[in-house]
Chains A and B, each alone.
Chain A
Amino acid sequence: MDERSGLEDSRKKDWPTTPSAFQRLLNWLDGDMNSEGQKYLEMRGRLVAYFDRKNCTTPDDLADETLDRVARRLEQENISKAEAPAKYCYIVARFVFMEHLRSSRQEGALASDLQRNSTEAIAAFDQAQEDKDTMLSCLEGCINKLEPESREISLGYYGGRGREKIENRRSLAQRLGITSNALSIRACRIRDRLENCVRECCREK
């Protein structure tokens, strides 16, 4: 994929992803398996995280833009055998990021945003008391909704500090009869679920 085709894509931002194009994208990401959309969600999540690490303030939009372009190229140029899906998505994401960077610099926004954000960083984590209470209340509700084993894993894995935390994790893995690595992965997924649950709950309130 060359730079010119990446730039051409930028002129077609309003191309809507049709249902058939979207289904084609899902099938392409799934490969030989049917993940019922899980592969798409995972890829989208990784792209959001990528754009977020690049200090983009709209990582969700950029991830969607990336996947829309991939879907368009699948539909128009039938590239299914050209690249591994994840690698192709990354290449498109890089183009999208470069374009975003160029347009941000033209607006003079990016550097000053980063500067302002870095100096206000620690205070930026503070919240109004009301927002803190809402989040805590949502979190309690979301934790209570977890299955008992998931709740035990999330509270046991992330509790404690330093040596105590390491010991907690070791004994938790032993009690559950799984490896430390498997425990880490499960705890991570449970935490992501909690985070999403809290985000939704706070939004509703």
Chain B
Amino acid sequence: MNKQDDSDAVLRNYLLGLLPEAETERLDELSVTEEVFAQNLRIAEHDLIDAYVNGELTGKELLEFSKQYGGTPLRRDRVRFAQAFQAAIQTRAVVERPKTDEETGDTSKTSVVSFFSFKNWSPLKWGFVASSLLLFLVASWFFVRQLGPHSQQTPPPATSAATNAEPPAGNSPGPSPNAPTGPTSESPKTGQERLAQRSNPPANPAGPARVVAFVLRPQMRSEQIAELVIPSDTTTVALMLLLGPIDTNYHRAILTEASSDRTVWQSGKVKVTTIDEMSVLQLRLPAALLRQEVYRIRAVGIYPNGTTETTNEYSFQVVK
């Protein structure tokens, strides 16, 4: 075994299945016969899985990781363990932090728990967020109608909610969604912008938001494409797709770049949930996957006999 065999890049590519076949076979043998190589490989694997969990993988690495580590029960379990491990580490870090806050009197350092801190993201909380956003949508539509002849007839296609989840120590009661309205077909200098300015509270100086959630509804031909503003330190983007009338409880979502029609990401089979009598498809994807581009999502219904059919389409532009 030579020094190059266990360099980080080589090990990473080996784990992702990106090495040529001959090289892969050579490292396969080392992984069984050489104790030092096997140890270094294990270390590299932990770092790779953590990079995925933290949203640090992009492009080809992300796609290959999903293929390799979603392929067997053992590796799926490793990823789930890593998710729980990172959540536990952050929870412990947050629990220790409040002592410093109390000493300095600085209450602005509200901790943000990773999306994978499971206890805070119950369906009830998702339902609360979705209901609040829908209520806001309807209210803003009525408000806009009052403003003048250019008011549009339908509410804006997307709203966003940058969520600051409460720390496990329970310093504050639940998230406070900030919900600027998305772009509409009317002039940007009229009611929408004024409404956004009035309803958009100051940016939270407390710290980076880890999760950004958006609600999307199907794109209408006459509407402008929704803009999704994703802060640079976001790790996960949660999308709630509002589905029209559907006749199947399972869907798959396919995300493509609008300019090239290249598939960037696709989900597995996802069960449709009902929130306030609306059918919703809930998705989560790493923020690192999204660049400043226009994307399209196709919601594909999956029927019991195995056939599939596109039921809804959504478009959005990412702004970072």
Contacts and interface: CB of A to CB of B under 8 A. Distances in A.
Contact of B43 (A47, A86, A188): A188
Interface-central residue, B46, B84, B93, by most chain A CB under 10 Å = B84
Interface string B69-86: 111111111111101111
B32 A89 contact: yes
A52 B74 contact: yes
Interface stretch (A19-27, A74-82, A127-135, A171-179): A127-135
A84 B33 contact: yes
B32 A121 contact: no
A52 B69 CA distance: 10
B216 to A, nearest CB: 18
A191 B266 CA distance: 31
A101 interface: no
B85 A158 contact: yes
B143 interface: no
Contacts of A93: 32
A57 B88 contact: no
Contacts, number: 136
A123 B67 contact: no
A43 B74 CA distance: 18
B92 interface: yes
B295 to A, nearest CB: 16
A135 B84 contact: yes
B168 to A, nearest CB: 11
Given A55-B71, A118-B71, A123 B270 contact: yes
A33 interface: no
Contacts of B31: 46, 49-50, 53
A162 B56 contact: yes
Interface in B85-113: 85-90, 92-93
Contact of A136 (B34, B119, B123, B268): B119
Interface string A88-111: 011001000000000000000000
A170 to B, nearest CB: 15
A140 interface: yes
A139 B88 contact: yes
Interface in A41-85: 42-43, 46-50, 52-53, 55-57, 59, 84
A69 to B, nearest CB: 14
B277 interface: no
Given A55-B71, A90-B33, A129-B118, A120 B269 contact: yes
A198 B32 contact: no
Q: How large is the interface on B (under 10, 10 to 19, 20 to 34, 35 or more residues)?
A: 35 or more
B74 A59 contact: yes
B50 interface: yes
Contact of B69 (A46, A121, A143): A121
Contacts of A55: 71-72
A15 interface: no
Nearest to B79: A125
Contacts of B32: 43, 46-47, 50, 86, 89-90, 93
A7 interface: no
A153 interface: no
Contacts of A86: 32-34
A119 B268 contact: yes
A188 B268 CA distance: 31
Nearest to A49: B31
B29 interface: yes
A205 interface: no
Interface in B4-43: 15, 28-29, 31-35, 38-39, 41-43
A192 interface: yes
Interface in A176-202: 184-185, 187-188, 191-192, 194-195, 198-199
Given A49-B31, A158-B89, A122 B267 contact: yes
A125 B76 contact: yes
B285 interface: yes
B265 interface: yes
Contact of A133 (B41, B69, B90, B119): B119
Nearest 9 CB-CB pairings of A with B: A121-B70, A123-B268, A120-B268, A121-B66, A132-B118, A86-B33, A90-B32, A118-B67, A117-B71
Interface of A: 42-43, 46-50, 52-53, 55-57, 59, 84, 86-87, 89-90, 93, 114, 117-127, 129, 132-133, 135-136, 139-140, 143, 155, 158-159, 161-162, 184-185, 187-188, 191-192, 194-195, 198-199
Given A59-B74, A118-B70, A136-B118, 10 more contacts: A49-B31, A50-B31, A53-B28, A57-B72, A114-B67, A122-B70, A139-B81, A139-B85, A185-B39, A195-B78
